[in-house]
Amino acid sequence: AQSVTQLGSHVSVSEGALVLLRCNYSSSVPPYLFWYVQYPNQGLQLLLKYTSAATLVKGINGFEAEFKKSETSFHLTKPSAHMSDAAEYFCAVSVKTGANNLFFGTGTRLTVIP
Amino acid sequence: ETGVTQSPTHLIKTRGQQVTLRCSSQSGHNTVSWYQQALGQGPQFIFQYYREEENGRGNFPPRFSGLQFPNYSSELNVNALELDDSALYLCASSPGGTSGTYEQYFGPGTRLTVT
């Protein structure tokens, strides 16, 4: 079975500060991992994905994440927060066999303080 | 290239009624998945359709059913609506089969309110 835990339902950072959103996963088989962003009243937009290639993954809008198998983590980072980064962020896991459905965490709401 | 579209945007129904939500997949995508996102929660997988066949189902009762058409568009039907069915329903399409490598592209969702 697959699952995702996102630590911290709310994270606040100052504009220009480091963004760190935490995600730990559980999977009985090698996982695929994803970060999605959701702006108010919108669907989900893919930020980045890990599919067993490079462990450091770069995504859109300056975000990146590192897959650490030993820690079962896939934390999302951005060196310098921008006001437009304020949104809800979801970590998700999928597996290589069967239906490629996503298992999502409960989300982290990022607030950027000017 | 047209993205994933969903209709209607918003819907209000009464408990016990039936509802049909529609999704048009992104061009070239043959796999459609449906998710339910309750307020303040992450999306939960309902089911997936691949080439018009159901290809996996989450922990949802049989009153949640679906269809995929030859053009790969899809419908989600919910019978005997309950108050807890109030949620944002998201459709996602992906380009190729069930390998798990393909990211899913989400539509804007349909907000269903059951009163």
Spatial distance between the Cα atoms of A109 and B72, rounded to a whole number of angstroms: 33
Q: What is the pLDDT of residue A40?
A: 86
How far away is chain A from the Cα of B106, in angstroms, using its nearest Cα?
Answer: 6
Spatial distance between the Cα atoms of B96 and B29, rounded to a whole number of angstroms: 7
Higher-pLDDT residue of B99 and A42 is A42
Interval A38-90: pLDDT, tens: 998 888 999 999 987 788 999 999 999 999 999 999 999 999 999 999 999 99
Residue A107 has pLDDT above 90, yes or no: yes
Residue B103 has pLDDT above 90, yes or no: no
**What's chain A's average pLDDT?**
92
Beta bridge partners of B48: B33
Higher-pLDDT residue of B47 and B98 is B47
Residue B78 is given by DSSP the state E
Spatial distance between the Cα atoms of A36 and B74, rounded to a whole number of angstroms: 23
Residue B61 is given by DSSP the state -
Q: What is the pLDDT of residue B101?
A: 58
Spatial distance between the Cα atoms of A51 and A36, rounded to a whole number of angstroms: 15
CB contact under 8 A, B98 and A46: no
Closest CA to A48 of A63, A69, A38, A31: A63
| Confidence band for B66, pLDDT divided at 50, 70 and 90 | very high
CB contact under 8 A, B4 and A104: no
- Rg of chain B taking only CA atoms, in angstroms: 13
Confirm or reject contact between A104 and chain B (CB < 8 A). yes
Beta bridge partners of A93: A33, A103
Q: What is the pLDDT of residue A98?
A: 61
Selecting from A90, A95, A106 the residue whose C-beta is nearest the C-beta of B100 gives: A95
Counting one residue from chain A and one from chain B, the pairs whose CB atoms sit within 8 A come to 73
Spatial distance between the Cα atoms of A69 and B109, rounded to a whole number of angstroms: 33
CB contacts, 8 Å: A46 with chain B: 103-105
Q: What is the pLDDT of residue A29?
A: 79
Residue B90 has pLDDT above 90, yes or no: yes
CB contact under 8 A, B106 and A44: yes
Interval B1-58: pLDDT, tens: 678 999 999 999 999 999 999 999 988 888 999 999 999 899 999 999 988 999 889 9
Measure CA B97 to chain center. 17
Q: E strands within A39-97?
A: 44-50, 56-58, 64-68, 73-78, 87-95
Confirm or reject contact between B20 and chain A (CB < 8 A). no
